[in-house]
Chain A
Amino acid sequence: MTFRVRVLVRLRPSVYDPQGEAIKKAIAADPRLSAASVRQGKMFDLEVKADSPSEAKARAAEIASRVLANPVLEDFNVHVILD
């Protein structure tokens, strides 16, 4: 079976995010808008062949840790999209 899996990669909380800060300032430039904080990340949608959702999730997590995220800077989370 093929499962759709979504991987979110984000900077670890301790890592300063200059892009997020710039976006936060851009939001604040519109007086109708405000955000207390902004963190930018990346989203990946994968199609993964596996026998079960949990196996698909494990395969995607391995891909995320080996390729999609740089562990020095980034965390990731993985969830299987069931529709």
Chain B
Amino acid sequence: MARFAVLVFPGTNCEGDVLHAIQTVTGQPAELVWHKEGSLDGFDAAVVPGGFAHGDYLRAGGLARFSPVMEPLARMADSGQAVVGICNGFQILQEAGLLPGAMLRNQSLSYVCRDVRIRVEANSSPLTMGLAPGTALRMPVGHAEGNFRADDAVLEALEADEQVIFRYCDDDGEATADANPNGSRNNIAGVRNRRGNVAALMPHPDRAYEDALGGADGCRLFESLHRFTQS
């Protein structure tokens, strides 16, 4: 059995979807954890869901990093447990220094909300464990700041180290500029840390985990997360 923590900040709004997705896809217990909590003892994995933590004041994810729950979250990351971010959760993990890079405003300046395709690039992460590189998945994005940015040197290291785990792609699986919804460098949709236990993506697997939602490809990511906790 694995216990999942789903973190909730003021302004988080995807915690219900993530909780339900984990419970239905993995059959494992999951609990909401308020950002004022100082402990994540007893959890095997933590998910930082999407939304607008602290109103996205200052910068997207910029204030969440000072919430008390971030200390035990960093300890989970240090100890090798799975820590995963989705959308705003990705931005929060970047701001906390648990994942590389930062998000700029989308190149279009528009909030983009539509289905995208993403290609699995590396299976060395809690979101992609057991998925074959090259696998294309469809799920929605919904964000205004998903334009992944890192210095050339950092970007080169990420690519060399296979820390890019998802790239936006077209229907043929090609990472083209047209398939990129936000202008992110190298079509990056998701990354992992060097150790391979912290990972995040901008698209929402929590909005694509059963056919009634228009697609179920998101299940693969929650299954992967479950698999990681068993490994």
Contact = CB atoms under 8 A, between A and B. Distances in A.
B149 A15 contact: yes
B109 A72 contact: no
B99 to A, nearest CB: 11
Interface stretch (B100-108, B115-123, B190-198): B100-108
Contacts, number: 32
Given A15-B149, A68-B58, A73 B102 contact: yes
**From DSSP, what is the main secondary structure of chain B's interface residues?**
loop
Given A68-B58, A70-B59, A70-B62, A19 B105 contact: yes
B149 A72 contact: yes
Contacts of B157: none
Given A68-B58, A70-B62, A18 B149 contact: no
Interface string B57-76: 01100100010000000000
Given A15-B149, A19-B109, A22-B109, A70 B104 contact: no
Interface residues of A, number: 10
Nearest to B102: A72
Interface string B144-184: 00010111000000000000000000000000000000010
Interface of B: 58-59, 62, 66, 94-95, 101-102, 104-109, 147, 149-151, 183
The 5 closest A-B pairs by CB, nearest first: A72-B102, A73-B102, A18-B105, A70-B102, A18-B109
Interface of A: 15-16, 18-19, 22, 67-68, 70, 72-73
